[in-house]
Chains A and B, each alone.
Chain A
Amino acid sequence: MKIRPPRKVVLESAVAKSPLSETLRKNLPAASFEIVDRVRDVSARSPDLLEVVDFHGRFLKSCPGTRHYNCCGYRILNLGTQCSINCTYCILQVYLNQPNLRLFGNLDGMFRELSDFFDQNRGCLHRIGTGEFTDSLLLDPFTGITRSIVPFFASTPNGVLELKTKTDSVGNLIGLDHGGHTIVAWSLNPEEVQRREEPLSATISERLEAARACSGEGYFLAFHFDPIIDYPRWKSGYAQTLDRLFDTVDPARIVWISLGALRFMPELKTIVKARHPASRIVYGEFIRGLDGKMRYFRDIRAEFYSFIVERIRKVDPGLCVYLCMESDDVWLDSFGFSPGRRGGLSGMLDRAVEQRMGIVPSIASPAEADQPASGCKAC
Chain B
Amino acid sequence: MTEVDLCHVGLSQIDLGDCTFELRSFSDSNRLADSLARAGILDPVWLGEKSGKFFVVDGFKRLRWAKDKGSDCLFCRIFKEGCDLRRVWVEKLEKRLCEGEINLAEKAQIIAVLAELFGPGEIPGFFLSGLKAANRPEAIRKWLLLAGKGPRMLEALASGEVCERAAMEISDWDDPGFDSVLALLRALKCSASIQVEIVERISEIAIRQESSRAAVLELAPVREILSREMNHREKTAALRQYLAEVRNPRLSLRRKRFQRELEALGLPLGARVVPPEAFEGGEWSMQLSFTRPEELRKIFRLAEPVVASNRLDKVFEK
Assess whether A297 is in contact with B207, with CB atoms less than 8 Å apart.
no
Assess whether A328 is in contact with B282, with CB atoms less than 8 Å apart.
yes
Task: Kindly report which residue of chain B lies nearest to residue A69, judged by CB atoms.
Answer: B281
Given A283-B208, A285-B248, A333-B318, A299–B280 Cβ distance below 8 Å? no
Assess whether B281 is in contact with A327, with CB atoms less than 8 Å apart.
yes
Complex interface bits, B228-264 against A, C-beta within 8 A gives 1, otherwise 0: 0000000000000000000111110010000000000
Q: Which of B254-284 contact A (CB under 8 A)?
A: 254, 277-282
Assess whether A288 is in contact with B278, with CB atoms less than 8 Å apart.
yes
Assess whether A274 is in contact with B282, with CB atoms less than 8 Å apart.
no
| CB<8 Å pairs between A and B, sample of 27 | A68-B281, A274-B138, A280-B207, A280-B208, A283-B208, A285-B248, A285-B249, A287-B278, A287-B280, A288-B277, A288-B278, A288-B280, A289-B280, A290-B281, A297-B248, A297-B251, A297-B278, A297-B279, A298-B278, A298-B280, A299-B251, A299-B254, A299-B279, A300-B250, A302-B318, A327-B280, A329-B281
Task: Kindly report which residue of chain B lies nearest to residue A290, judged by CB atoms.
Answer: B281
Q: Return chain B residues, CB-CB under 8 Å to A297.
A: 248, 250-251, 254, 278-279
Given A280-B207, A285-B249, A287-B251, A298–B138 Cβ distance below 8 Å? no
A contact residues, total (Cβ < 8 Å)? 19
Q: Return chain A residues, CB-CB under 8 Å to B204.
A: 283
Report the interface size class on chain B: 10 to 19
Most-contacted residue by chain A among B207, B254, B279, B318 (CB, 10 A): B318
Q: Return chain A residues, CB-CB under 8 Å to B282.
A: 327-329
Q: Return chain A residues, CB-CB under 8 Å to B254.
A: 297, 299
Assess whether A283 is in contact with B281, with CB atoms less than 8 Å apart.
no
Task: Kindly report which residue of chain B lies nearest to residue A338, judged by CB atoms.
Answer: B282
Q: What separation, in Å, do the CA atoms of A78 and B250 have in the docked complex? A: 39
Q: What separation, in Å, do the CA atoms of A300 and B279 have in the docked complex? A: 12
Q: Return chain A residues, CB-CB under 8 Å to B280.
A: 287-290, 295, 298, 327
> Contacts A298-B278, A302-B318 given; 12 further ones with Cβ under 8 A?
A68-B281, A274-B138, A280-B207, A283-B207, A285-B248, A289-B280, A290-B280, A297-B248, A297-B278, A297-B279, A327-B281, A328-B282
Q: What separation, in Å, do the CA atoms of A320 and B233 have in the docked complex? A: 53
Q: What separation, in Å, do the CA atoms of A329 and B204 have in the docked complex? A: 29
Q: Return chain B residues, CB-CB under 8 Å to A290.
A: 280-281
Given A274-B138, A283-B208, A285-B249, A299–B318 Cβ distance below 8 Å? yes
Complex interface bits, A283-324 against B, C-beta within 8 A gives 1, otherwise 0: 101011110000101111010000000000000000000000
Q: Which of B207, B251, B281, B318 contacts A285 (CB 8 A)?
A: B251
Question: A residues touching B (Cβ–Cβ < 8 Å)?
Answer: 68, 274, 280, 283, 285, 287-290, 295, 297-300, 302, 327-329, 333
Q: Which of B1-54 contact A (CB under 8 A)?
A: none
Q: What separation, in Å, do the CA atoms of A329 and B283 have in the docked complex? A: 10
Task: Kindly report which residue of chain A lies nearest to residue B249, judged by CB atoms.
Answer: A285
Least CB distance, B75 to chain A, in whole angstroms? 51
Task: Kindly report which residue of chain B lies nearest to residue A301, judged by CB atoms.
Answer: B280
Kindly list the 9 A-B residue pairs having the minimum CB-CB distance in the complex, ordered from nearest: A287-B278, A297-B251, A329-B282, A290-B281, A283-B207, A283-B204, A285-B248, A297-B250, A283-B208
Q: What separation, in Å, do the CA atoms of A328 and B282 have in the docked complex? A: 8
Assess whether B250 is in contact with A285, with CB atoms less than 8 Å apart.
yes
Assess whether A298 is in contact with B207, with CB atoms less than 8 Å apart.
no
Q: Return chain A residues, CB-CB under 8 Å to B281.
A: 68, 290, 327, 329
Complex interface bits, B103-139 against A, C-beta within 8 A gives 1, otherwise 0: 0000000000000000000000000000000000010
Assess whether A299 is in contact with B250, with CB atoms less than 8 Å apart.
yes
Task: Kindly report which residue of chain A lies nearest to residue B248, judged by CB atoms.
Answer: A285
Least CB distance, A145 to chain B, in whole angstroms? 37
Q: Return chain A residues, CB-CB under 8 Å to B249.
A: 285
Q: Return chain A residues, CB-CB under 8 Å to B277.
A: 287-288
Q: What separation, in Å, do the CA atoms of A169 and B318 have in the docked complex? A: 43
Most-contacted residue by chain B among A280, A295, A297 (CB, 10 A): A297
Task: Kindly report which residue of chain B lies nearest to residue A289, judged by CB atoms.
Answer: B280
Q: Return chain A residues, CB-CB under 8 Å to B279.
A: 297-299
Q: What separation, in Å, do the CA atoms of A300 and B249 have in the docked complex? A: 11
Q: Return chain B residues, CB-CB under 8 Å to A295.
A: 280
Least CB distance, A69 to chain B, in whole angstroms? 9
Q: Return chain A residues, CB-CB under 8 Å to B138.
A: 274
Least CB distance, B285 to chain A, in whole angstroms? 15
Q: Return chain A residues, CB-CB under 8 Å to B250.
A: 285, 297, 299-300
Q: Return chain B residues, CB-CB under 8 Å to A280.
A: 207-208
Least CB distance, B291 to chain A, in whole angstroms? 34
Q: What separation, in Å, do the CA atoms of A156 and B195 have in the docked complex? A: 59
Q: Return chain B residues, CB-CB under 8 Å to A288.
A: 277-278, 280
Task: Kindly report which residue of chain A lies nearest to residue B278, judged by CB atoms.
Answer: A287
